[in-house]
Structure 1
Amino acid sequence: MAQSELSSEMMACIQACRHCQRICLNMATGHCLEKGGRHVEPEHLRTMLVCAEICGTAADVMTTGSTLHRQVCAVCADICDACISSCRDLDEMDECIDACERCKDSCEAMTSE
């Protein structure tokens, strides 16, 4: 399946994943590092960086048109959920939470497409 054959839902999911990837990476290396304290606890930063990585991977896999995107999207949704939980306990993380929620919802829909 060529990219031109990807469904509009999958194209939207790819965009949501790329957006989440950028937000998680930018916030982890910008906001969290500058904020310090609980924002730089190792497990929180690792979760954000892993979330950014899996979001990029999910977008890449969907772009190939492989049906293996279902498994990758399921993992991406789970990791986005973990990132949401990690960020929810901290202040000024709404942008990351929103991006992860959109990506999670979109990836969950892709697990059956």
Structure 2
Amino acid sequence: MGTQTQPTTDQQQMMEKCIRRCQECLQLCQQCAAECISGGGDQTMRDCAKLCLECADVCATSATLMSRGSPHHAAQCRVCADICEACAAACEKAYAEGCAIDDIMRRCAEACRRCAESCRQMAA
């Protein structure tokens, strides 16, 4: 059995911040997807809903792996950052096209960008 190094205080704080951002992103992505689905909408809305659901799932997994101290959290955070960026872009596109649920989309995109930033730091 190998030994795992304990994170420094700075690393632990960065991880805790990333977990919070993943959880916030998860929640807003689920809300945004639900609004997109219930609103019907065009292909842009369907694409946004699909990415929001994928983003919510990957954020949940990232937060879980970090909470457990998994040695695989860095790889997961890289994937999470990429999907968060794609989700933010989809929400911003729908928002720019004048979607009726623009407030949740704006907040979702902002949360995705913050989460992506934190996840990229964790993946470094």
TM-score (norm 2): 0.79
Which of the residues 74, 77, 92 maps onto 1:70?
74
In structure 1, the gaps of 5 or more residues are none
CA distance in 2, matches of 1:12, 1:47: 23
17, 24, 28: which one pairs with 1:12?
A: 17
Matched residue count: 108
For residues 49-106 of structure 1, give each alpha carbon's deviation from its aligned partner in whole angstroms, at most 9, with x where no partner exists. 0000000000000011122100000000000011011111112111110110010000
Q: Which runs of 5+ in 2 are unaligned?
A: 96-101
The ranges of structure 1 where at least 4 consecutive aligned residues each deviate by more than 6 angstroms after the TM superposition are: none
Partner SS for 2:94: coil
Partner of 1:98: 110
Q: Identity rate of aligned residues, in percent?
A: 36
Q: Distance in 2 between matches of 1:87 and 1:24?
A: 10
* Structure 1 position 34, deviation (Å): 3.9
Residues 14-36 of structure 1, C-alpha deviation per residue, up to 9 Å, x if partnerless?
Answer: 0000010000001111x213433
Residue 28 (structure 2) aligns with = 23
Does 2:62 match 1:50?
no
What TM-score, normalized to structure 1? 0.86
